[in-house]
Amino acid sequence: MTKEEREKFKREEAHADAQAKRHGGLLAVDGEMDTLLDKGSTTPLMAGGAGGLLRVSALFVVAIMLMIKRSLAPSSGPHYGGLEFPAEVKFSDGQFQTLLGGSGATAGAVGVYLQHVPADGDWGVLSRYVGLSPAELLAPQPEGQLDVFVQIGHANTLTRSLLFMFDGSASVKDMLDEIKKHIDGISSEADSATRAGETFLAVVDAATPPPDEVPGRTARIYVTCHGEEMMVTYATAHAVQVMRKSSHVPTGGMAVPSTASDGPVCPLLFDAYLGVVTELQSEDLRATDLRATVADGFRAHTGVFKDEM
């Protein structure tokens, strides 16, 4: 090899080393041309240098916004009477209640909710029902034993709610009349229970719009019970529409006076909807539908927290 050839070889070798160091040793070099740097990009998004990076950034931002929107979108819940019920409701104190079941009704629909986590309260009265199949929960109980539906309504240590939802065509009076019909079905022979029901209905009447008004579709009445406390809260359809995954119960509900009645109203109301099916209720198959969906929901709800009970 001549001196000129050796010098040329050294120059070519130095040039190749310099390019390899600049590109991390990963880019192929064709003679003296850096093929990646001098070659036009085949990716449209990357074409145009800074403009391409801006387009990539914009797409990234849009993707993030879509993910956020999806996470904030209302979760799809079960439908009863053609109305979608929230899978859970949240109260101002941060407590959640989970939907057990529901059914359609003449003036809309009704749903039954139970405190979210067993650790939130004493679930002792319900422990023996955990693990039973819906068919076992619905089966007649031995004489002297209460079924799970009565226990849910009468256990003062449990926070539970009934949610009455309007269908957009029923008036407030229609809903009041329907609730009264259920209460009368179990209290017609007990004056004290009748008076307790009247006390409750008076509070519902005071907490809701005028009787002849027709609330918008999905407007609702929350009736929440814990111990001797009972609250009635009304939410307009507009208020519901802006709610997200959990339906937040508005503040400002009205308390049902416990001293003004001749007995606890909450057990009376739950018995009217979930208690032993009376002759009046047996004419309406929706009463048994409610018990069936609540049995399914109770099995699913308590199964998640079985180890905590």
What is residue 47's predicted lDDT score, i.e. its pLDDT? 47
Tokens 């539906």 sit on residue = 149
| Residue appearing with tokens 């859970």 | 88
Please write the tens of the pLDDT for every residue from 80-115. 999 999 999 988 887 889 999 999 988 999 999 998
State pLDDT tens for residues 267-302. Answer: 889 988 987 644 444 444 344 589 999 999 999 888
What are the boundaries of each domain within the chain?
3-72, 79-308
Binned at pLDDT 50, 70 and 90, residue 25 comes out as very low
Residue among 203, 193, 197, 195 nearest 180 (CA)? 197
Question: What is the percent of the chain where pLDDT is above 70?
Answer: 60
Residue 138 near residue 291 (C-beta atoms within 8 A): yes
CATH number of 79-308: 3.50.70.10
- DSSP 8-state secondary structure symbol assigned to residue 127: G
Sign (positive/negative) of CA torsion 154, 156, 157, 158?
A: positive
pLDDT score recorded for residue 72:
43
For 204, the token pair is: 């519902």
Tokens of 16: 């190749």
pLDDT band with cut points at 50, 70 and 90 for residue 196? confident
Lookup: tokens for 175: 């809903």
pLDDT of residue 237: 82
pTM beyond 0.75: the answer is no
